[in-house]
Each structure stands twice: as structure tokens, then as C-alpha cells.
Amino acid sequence: MIEAFPENFLFHDILRGAAPGITISELASLEGPAENPWRWGLGAETRLEIAPHAQPLELRMAIRPANGQTITIYLGDSPVSPGKIPLPPSTTPTILRYWPSLWNQIGELAPLDQRLLGVCFTELKLLHHEFANGKICPMPFTRKEIRGGGPFVPCCSPWLTPDYLGLETGAESWNGLQAQALRESVLNGSYRFCRRDICQTSYFTYDELPQLSNPEGEFFLSPENLRATHRGELTLPEGPSDAVITADTRCNLACPSCRTEKITSLDAEGAARIESAKKELQSIALRRLRIAGDGEPLFSPFLREVIQGLHQYPELKIVELHTNGILLDEDTLRKLGPGAGKINRLFVSIDAATAETYAQVRGGDWERLLKNLRWAASLGLDSFVLMFVYRRANFREMPLFEKLAKDVGADSACFSPFMPWERAGGLSYKEEAVHLPGHPDHEEFLALLPQK
């Protein structure tokens, strides 16, 4: 099996062993000037075999016929035209064959050469997609959102296209039809289901994928899943190592960007979703967990129970808690017992830098929040980040928000655009999305947007 090809190489380099796993039969000796060498085919049939590959390739070839000669070229069982022939990722060998029709006895090209002239191979090139730059997003191979049913989501739902979310999930989400389609789009470089304008994920080359076998790393691929990914397989033998819990909508606030009223209890459908999420979580050998919820984790009885039991996962290395901060205090974490000690990354969503704006966009207790933030800074966590979703109502406070993060002892301030959530509290996305060109406040927004 080939794990990766060099970025590009001349065809004669294949014959000299630069690309293991490629087999060529019946080719003549090297011809042409040194800067542009080629190989001619020999015999009644010439066969080129390229071993299974996970990245798309491009074979460049040209016909150099003598008078009256024709060439029939087949890729597998299908005829193809010479030139640039794309070779999609494949888990089986890619076979190219061709037959020249006449002996080359006379002609301008090689009048004394009694060989069968075939195809001039010039280059085999690794294709790079402009978005991922030839790299792989690790999320579809490592992470799964636990939502108690529904589609396979390894990242944020708004980062995926409506076409993807409308695909059939299949019998089970981790290796179902939807997951396979997403992984295929990553491996072939198209990323056709991804929202490229808002994606924030880091990517890895095939050569860098073994780094993901480090249990201490951001993402973890088990040896079995790593080998499957290298082979370009769309179903993985082992489950995810990374989970995001978003099954519970209960929250102590009713932010207009999220909902029109507080959700403090569950209906029958919500209760069933929680039970399904519990079973799903128990089946995963967790190494990384993001406790986000569709509401507030420290308000949700289900997620509080999850936090209490985190010490039961010995391989769990990274625990991210995403909270609005109102319930984030010493008494709350003490009640959550030893499991809370696993939390080493904290993300607090605030969306404001003053009490007045906070009352408008969040509606919580500003002074209580500030007290909790200063206490959280004393915990010595690996990461403590304040989150700000900018929209028309708050974007002018972005500079003040950076100062707020420093004042309370946070490591950084993170800014992201307002997105059209399903429950967006009746807000108009068109009116609120100041990050979109054409919005009346867009130019002012750009002037205030923090530099990366």
C-alpha cells in the first residue's frame, strides 16, 4: 500500500524507485532530452499499475504515433483519452493498459525502430485542492457529536452545508452513509460539504498523520484507524476518540441569539434524546471531550452528572467546558466532585464588554459573571478563553472585550460571527450579520475587527 506520493515527480523517477508500489511492464529505455525524459511502451500490450493511494493523482501522458498508428488506452475497463488523466483515491490497484495498432516501420519519429510505439508518459502528479492545500481535516476520522440521534457531525453544524445535513445518516452515524460521504470528500480533496468561509480547523498532510497517534495530542487516531485512513477507507474499525455533547437544550439564560425564552425542562422527545446520548457516550473510549450542550452544561442535570463521572475515564486527556459563566463558581465545582478536576480548558461565552450590552445580548448578572471569571483565572487551567459572537448589537465593544479578557486574567479573547441558528430567538440574520459585505455597518465592523 502507498501511504503518500511526493508532491510531483517525472515519470522516469517512478522507474528509478522514487515511488514504491508502482509497477510498469514492458517499457523501453529512457528517451528524450535530459530535462524532459520519457518512456515508450513495448510489445502487444503495455500495463501500468499504481498501487492503492489515498490522495487523488494526475497522470500526464501524450501520444507520439508513427504514420497511421492509433492507440487504444484503457483505465480499468473504460477507454480514456491521453493528456491529463485524473486518478481518484482508490483502495485497489489502478490499472492502465494500451495497445498500439501497427509496427513503427517507417515515419518521421523513428523510421528504423522496429518497436511498437506506445504512449509517452511524462509525469505523475499529486493533486492539491486549493482549500485544504493537499491536507486532511482530522475531525471526520476522530470526533463525533453526541446529540442523541440525528446526523453525523464531527464539528459545528453551521460549518457543514445544507446538502450534507440532508444526506441519509445510515444505520449508525459513526460509519454510516453520511459519515462515509464526508470522509470521501476530505480524502479526494473536494471538501464539498464544508463551509470554507467559516471553518477554523487545522489540517494535516498524509506524512503528518502519524503525529495523531500521540495520545497527548489535540486529535488522536488509533493505529487501526490511522492505517484505515492511509488506505483511503471510509469506514473505520474503531470508534471516535473525541466527543462533543450537544444533547441538552436546558439553560439558565435566554439569549436572543439562541432562543426566545428559557428552556428549563425537557419534553418526551428531549428526555429520549438524553437517554440515547448516555448510551452513546458509554460506548466511546474517550481521550478528549467537549462539554458544550445546546444550553448550559452547569445547569443541565444530565451534563452535571457527566462531569461528576469524568474521573472514570483514565485515558481522558482534554476536557473543554463551554459555559456562560453565571454558575461557574467554587461551590458548583466542589459539588461536581472529582470529575470536575478533569476540566483543563474553559471557554466562557459573554458577547459583551459592558453591563448595558450584556443585559441586552445575554440578560445575566454582570457583576456575578465578573466575580466568577476572576475566580476561574486562579484555577491554573491549560486554557481560559472568553468568547464573543459579534453582531449588530455588540460589535462596537470588540476592542473593549480584549481589554476585559486581560483584566479578568483570561488567556485570550476569541471572536466569531453570528450564525443563522435554527433557534436564533427571532433575530434577523441579514440585519445582525455585520461581517457580511453589504451590511450597512460592515465597513465600521472591519475597522474594529481584532487582527489575528
Contact (CB, 8 A) for 319 and 342: yes
Supply 317's cell numbers: 486527556
User: Does a structural domain hold residue 132?
Assistant: no
Note whether 380 and 302 are same-domain residues: yes
Contact (CB, 8 A) for 178 and 169: yes
Contact (CB, 8 A) for 238 and 221: no
| Structural domain of 22 | 8-126
Note whether 15 and 61 are same-domain residues: yes
pLDDT digits (tens, 9 = 90+) for 405-444: 999 999 999 998 888 776 666 688 889 999 988 899 999 9
Note whether 160 and 30 are same-domain residues: no
Higher-confidence residue: 330 or 214?
A: 330
Phi/psi at 323 (5° precision): -145, 160
Domain count, the chain: 2
Please say which residue of 126, 154, 181 terminates a domain. Answer: 126
pLDDT digits (tens, 9 = 90+) for 24-70: 444 555 555 444 445 555 555 566 666 666 556 666 665 555 445 56
User: Does a structural domain hold residue 134?
Assistant: no
Note whether 152 and 114 are same-domain residues: no
User: Does a structural domain hold residue 437?
Assistant: yes
Cα–chain center distance at 349: 23
User: Does a structural domain hold residue 133?
Assistant: no
Note whether 37 and 168 are same-domain residues: no
- Residue with the three cell numbers 509517452: 120
Cα separation of 207 and 210, whole Å?
Answer: 7
Cα separation of 120 and 143, whole Å?
Answer: 45
Cα separation of 209 and 437, whole Å?
Answer: 37
User: Does a structural domain hold residue 370?
Assistant: yes
Supply 128's cell numbers: 492539491
Note whether 195 and 245 are same-domain residues: yes
**Residues 206-235 as b or e (16 or more Cβ within 10 Å = b):** beebeebeeeeeebbbbeebbebbbbbbbe
For residue 82, the 8-state DSSP code is S
pLDDT number for residue 288: 94
Please say which residue of 126, 151, 168 terminates a domain. Answer: 126
Give the highest mean pLDDT range of 196-200, 284-288, 350-354. Answer: 350-354
- Write the CATH number for 22: 2.60.120
Note whether 378 and 301 are same-domain residues: yes
**Residue 104 predicted with pLDDT over 60:** no
For residue 376, the 8-state DSSP code is H
**Residue 146 predicted with pLDDT over 50:** yes
Of the listed ranges 174-178, 203-207, 278-282, the least confidently predicted one is 203-207
If we measure between CA atoms, which residue out of 264, 280, 251, 244 comes closest to residue 148? Answer: 280
In this prediction, residue 157 has a pLDDT band, given cuts at 50, 70 and 90, of: confident
In this prediction, residue 189 has a pLDDT band, given cuts at 50, 70 and 90, of: confident
If we measure between CA atoms, which residue out of 281, 39, 56, 279 comes closest to residue 48? Answer: 39
Note whether 157 and 24 are same-domain residues: no
Residue 158 buriedness (CB in 10 A; 0-12 / 13-18 / 19+): middle
Bridge-partner residues for 347, per DSSP? 322, 385
Contact (CB, 8 A) for 58 and 85: yes
Note whether 173 and 28 are same-domain residues: no
Read off the pLDDT of each residue in 208-237 and give the average, rounded to a whole number. 86
Complete DSSP assignment for 305-368: HHHHTGGG-TT--EEEEEE-STT-SHHHHHHTGGGGGG--EEEEE---SSHHHHHHHT-S-HHH
Note whether 107 and 196 are same-domain residues: no
Please say which residue of 126, 153, 181 terminates a domain. Answer: 126
Bridge-partner residues for 289, per DSSP? 243, 319
Cα separation of 366 and 371, whole Å?
Answer: 9
Note whether 21 and 151 are same-domain residues: no
The amino acid at residue 173 is: S
Note whether 256 and 332 are same-domain residues: yes
- Write the CATH number for 304: 3.20.20.70
Supply 278's cell numbers: 448516555
If we measure between CA atoms, which residue out of 266, 383, 387, 413 comes closest to residue 323? Answer: 387
If we measure between CA atoms, which residue out of 204, 234, 222, 236 comes closest to residue 91? Answer: 234
User: Does a structural domain hold residue 211?
Assistant: yes
